[in-house]
Structure 1
């Protein structure tokens, strides 16, 4: 297992180039003067409060933080943050944030998106941001429904979901955002829940420090169009038996009585077993820093529409060169070799001509 330095295995923090503030900050400093307008009971309120509460711990200048959103209920987020923000277009927030992060290494860039925005029209932009490993953080609010457009099924809605657009039940097999991110070679992939602030903030801290793209899927309740979608993960009598809390370097043991564990099957998969029936050496130890994402992917497949078992926490956290860092290095090499260049001269060069009169 590899060592973690400043939130990144064997590497420096993704915030190392972002200016710090000498002024003590509180959550109030990150609240804008805009009225927060989501439906009563929406999980977005809890996520907003968690973000506003943890950002002061980073000690960054607010003018060097930027939130970029697409379209959807979650995309109101930048209005409520007393930082810079960009309410962009449907599905394109990762592309816009890529340009910002690549050109401004002094910024902490965050993308706020939903399961519809990110995984439908924005799916291509999402996977390429993950593949490139741009230094930005993506918060994917997953409520398994289209909320802003009033309750159509989304790319994460379960098979058979009855909605306004699927009155006889959805036929689509849903995306698993964690599996998708791992398949796109994401270097930081995590899942958390809107109602568990302590867990949510711990994941956000790790994501903020990560150098490269961090994707955090947040299970978020929509009380109007998909209320109770994640209730099994929140009910005291049920949640501990189906929720698997991932901790790097720790044996994967769970259950209200800590009597369940994960072990490898003969074919290399994972299965749930009783701790009493398993040799301790056979219990799977979570290694989020392993370069091979096979274990992380196997863990992501334990989730199911019936919530038989749902892992939460950091699935993968590894270091790979950040796209923007490599791009800037190439630019510096080109300038050293060719000189700073002249944009006007370039535009007027080659197959161009001037017509007078």
Structure 2
């Protein structure tokens, strides 16, 4: 049975809220304003247009509320909610995640595919570049696995790159993960992550969105999505990001919301490290392992913390150089004082062992 049927809201009030939710130019603050003014969504829909104008609401909202398009959209949403593992959470209902409810612009409605109960569990967000390097993807996966094993739900935006690596790694160790979309659940973006989203919903994790089910990937949706990622979480870990990355928006929203912000440093020559370095300058906690994250969240000591794995010592000199920064083959030969032929042979062996990877002519160490 869908979760919404267990709530205190009547079917007519649920439909009224879905209709309000579909109105153009009616964001979370105006939605809350209507409920505060009229007591419930049903009364707000029945109120005269003049009453809406007094509240300063756009004329388009009042005009559209009785349209066939809005009614049909609400009916379609109610039909969707009849499906297996498809739910709706209201911001003023007991099942709504408490941390998210603290926000002044908390989403009035959250559509959930999968298990809605994990939204109340302690979460850590892992975000970063869509065009992440191989080492960045490995680092995101390693942190996600360890944090999931430590009892945290891993929250991210289901984007390509760091987000997808974090979600998949949590699933790989039997952990739980939440994907927050910048589209409606019926218009999942990017499409390349459809199978990942389906696996998350099927394996006890969840995919959520505040947007109507048919909402397209409008660029303005994604900064709004980011406040939900940070709002659900105790802290946000940025793994790899440029200065223009949306991950920095998520991190700054987290700071404004009173959440912890963590950043992983990188090479000064790597553009994907510049965003993390800026966050560190702005006060984010520089982290090199999950112990630093766990130490900053001592209030959650009841979590079943898994012992961290001590990395094996680096025995190969070329691997030690690559852990410090990516290099070309020629640069490695100069730095190691080895003949280029020996460097190329050693790199081949390391690549076969999965210890290094070549991207665009440069060699990177892989993080296990």
Bigger fraction of residues in strand: 1
TM-score normalised to structure 1 length: 0.26
> Which structure has the larger Rg?
2
Higher relative contact order (CA 8 A, sep 6+): 1
Higher helix fraction (1 or 2): 2
